[in-house]
Amino acid sequence: MKVKFIASLWSNRELWWRLTEREILGRYRGSALGILWSFITPLAMLAVYTFVFSQVFKARWGTLENAGPLGFAINLFAGLIVFNVFSECNSRAPNLICSNPNYVKKVIFPLETLGSVAVGNAGFHALTSLSILLVFELIAMQRIPLTVCWLPLVWLPLILLSLAGTWILSAAGVFLRDIGQLINVALNMLMFLSPIFFPVSALPERWQPILSLNPLAVIIEQTRRVTIQGLNPQPLYIVAGTMAGFAICEISFRIFQKSKRAFADVL
């Protein structure tokens, strides 16, 4: 069976690159610090979260516990990077088509590219945050684990899951405008139900299998495994996660393609 979404992404790769570049540069156009905001914003949020959870609530993390608040910050930040990619893509998705009616009504445009642009934009900011994480690790551990080279494979299911969610939610947002509010509430809940501020091992054993049903939980734990703990990713995660990601992406793409025939009538 032909994988249609890969063929579509490849045929529109130049358009995707230009639109992603325009969106990244346009986001900071006119500001005094420009693209530096992509580094300042995560650093500011990281400082607040770290102070509250490590100093006010006295939270501790087994990994890098000797590094004190800096060790907690590194573990926290690794989880935040993963969540922010997923959250940014899915929070924007419901309004993605509605905010670009000209692409639907007046020109022949591959609308599925808008979803991949959103993912590309989120991926860029994830890479800037990753560079901050690696600098913090170098300060805390005096080294960066070589296993970080596994990160592209660890994040591949995350990218595929985010892309699939973007296509589904952008199509649904055309027909059901309230879905944007619902998604924002769901993402806020998901943030605290994901192991961002705590490791899965900190939960009672009876709750750990339930939390593991959250796909972000597995991705976050595997991200910490290769970027902080210096361990190779679990082979089962790489194989099963990638296969599931491709399958979900293909299904979402086909649903989007069928749904977009009605976009012009609704808008």
136-180 confidence digits (pLDDT tens) = 888 878 889 999 999 999 999 999 999 999 999 999 999 998 898
Q: Which residue has the higher pLDDT, 27 or 191?
A: 191
Q: Average model confidence (pLDDT) for the chain?
A: 88
Residue 60 pLDDT = 65
Q: Is residue 124 part of a domain?
A: yes
Please write the tens of the pLDDT for every residue from 190-245.
998 899 888 887 788 888 888 878 899 999 999 999 999 999 999 999 999 999 99
Highest mean pLDDT: which of 1-15, 47-61, 162-176? 162-176
Using a pLDDT cut of 70, give the percent of the chain over it. Answer: 93
Residue 229 inside a domain? The answer is: yes
pLDDT for the residue numbered 185: 93
| Predicted local distance difference test score (pLDDT) of residue 1 | 53
Among candidates 154, 142, 146, 144, which has minimal Cα distance to 220?
154
Does 177 fall in a domain? yes
Task: Tell me, yes or no, whether 197 lies in a domain.
Answer: yes
- Tell whether 21 is covered by a domain: no
Count up the domains in the chain and report the number.
1
* DSSP state letters, the chain: ---HHHHHHHHTHHHHHHHHHHHHHHHSTT-SSGGGHHHHHHHHHHHHHHIIIIIIS----STTGGGTHHHHHHHHHHHHHHHHHHHHHHHHGGGTTTT-HHHHHTS---THHHHHHHHHHHHHHHHHHHHHHHHHHHHHHSS--GGGGGHHHHHHHHHHHHHHHHHHHHHHHHH-TTHHHHHHHHHHHHHHHSTTSS-GGGS-TTTHHHHTTSHHHHHHHHHHHHHTS--PPPHHHHHHHHHHHHHHHHHHHHHHHHHGGGHHHH-
Domain residues for the domain of 185 are 35-261
What mean pLDDT is predicted for residues 125-145?
88
Provide the pLDDT for residue 224: 94
Q: How far is CA 264 from CA 32, 52, 74, 115, in A?
A: 39, 48, 46, 18
pLDDT at 258: 93
| Assigned domain for 4 exists | no
Instruction: Write down the pLDDT at residue 203.
Output: 80
Residue 28 lies in a domain: no
- Looking at residue 212, its pLDDT comes to 78
182 falls within a domain: yes
Residue 125 has pLDDT above 60, yes or no: yes
